[in-house]
Amino acid sequence: MQWLNNYRKKVTTVEAAVRAIKSGDNVYIHPGCAVPEILVKAMVARGHELSDVKVHHILTVGESGYVTEEMQGHFRHNALFIGHNVRSAVNKGLADATHIHLHEVASLFLRKIIPVDVALVHLSPPDEHGFCSFGVGVDMTKAACEMAKVIVAQVNPQMPRVLGDCFIHINKIHHVVEVDTPIKELPQVGEVTDEKEAEVYRAIGAHIADLIEDESTLQMGIGSIPDAVLSFLGNKRDLGIHTEMFSDGVIPLIERGVITNEKKTLHPGKMVASFVLGERPIFDFINNNPVVEFHPNHYVNDPFIVAQNRKMVAINSALQVDITGQVCADSIGPRLYSGFGGQVDFIRGASRSAGGKPIIALSSIVKNDTISRIVPHLPVGAGVTTGRADVHYVVTEYGVASLFRKTVRARVNELIHIAPPIYRDELRAYARKQNYI
């Protein structure tokens, strides 16, 4: 096996491998739970030898030493989706952010808008044909590797071998660092212990479940609201999954035969995603599982592709919604919080699906019942993630507002109806002042 001899020649130490990074380079880091932590730490460890290295990725799990004040001038991070580990740096001006729809991120690399000098990736060991899997996340990493001048791979037997358009041959890799360490995990929200809060999520989950028909295909992320929705789907039949990511919560519904993927109109019989965020059970579930197919985000999130799923239901969250239907999901006022991600990709895809339902879901109130998330207008500086014309359904614990093709007057009344009761008079007064109602 010629590839095996080639592989062995490429195995080196982590210190030697990261010497491929030169001053002025653009470095891509495999994101999410696939973050190649050992390579990243080694890169940062030699940071004082480097200058003006640009580091690009979406959300990663774990440390991000390249965004510290000490590393200024050595590294400059560009967040393609802002995670918790770089959020403070972005808002202090120590790192940059590019707001872009998730399905378009790969185009930054493919069109050389961001040239990739070095890609740091985390892979499964090669199979008998010399192919490594991108494991828990193919996302936009495959596209970055297709354009990278140098690929440095952290190869790990604990990385799942995931099927689909999710492989890279060892001949395309320049340096290999062999490790045997646990994959980074993102702990799940867990059971909500506050009964009042739990009741809110149950109500939201029940309202959304009422909108989901048998044979629907679902997109949802992780967190209390998706978990609540999943808990109400036990009596549904032949559901499918086409989503940018999923987590542990889908496993019980697959085992019970609720999620079968058999009635999907695109990739029937397959769960289609780009990455997972979660813990070891979901990593074990996707390992060599023929029901799971990972494809790059520029395919999975493409609204044209999403729309080919009949009865596509897209469930996305928000930080605030104003009374005309503008959705803010990526900032708190002018403070940048996350990014566009795949929200608009799937909202627009579901809206073009036959029988599709795009849904924005959020609890109506936060901060010990002191702040309504249905607001008269978005705060100064707040970003509009999803515009009025794209919003179909908004769900809170108080019900479902159906907005699509409605007048402003009708939209305002629908949204006030699902706002916290103690804020409804205030919202109506503002709406009358603006002559909305």
The Cα–Cα gap between 161 and 175 comes to: 20
- Separation CA 219–CA 350 (nearest Å): 9
Q: Amino acid letter at 258? A: V
Query: In degrees rounded to 5, what are phi and psi of residue 328?
Result: -110, 120
DSSP per residue, 191-210:
----HHHHHHHHHHHHHHHH
Please classify residue 125 by burial: count the beta carbons closer than 10 Å to its beta carbon, then call 0-12 exposed, 13-18 middle and 19+ buried.
Answer: middle
Burial class of residue 110, CB neighbours in 10 A (0-12, 13-18, 19+): middle
279 carries an active-site annotation: no
Q: What is the distance between the alpha carbons of residues 207 and 190, in angstroms, rounded to a whole number?
A: 21
Three-state secondary-structure class, residue 57? strand
For CA atoms 198, 203, 207, 209, give the dihedral sign.
positive
Q: Which of 63, 104, 213, 244 is an active site residue?
A: 244
- Residue 151 pairs in a beta bridge with 119
- Positions annotated as catalytic residues are 244
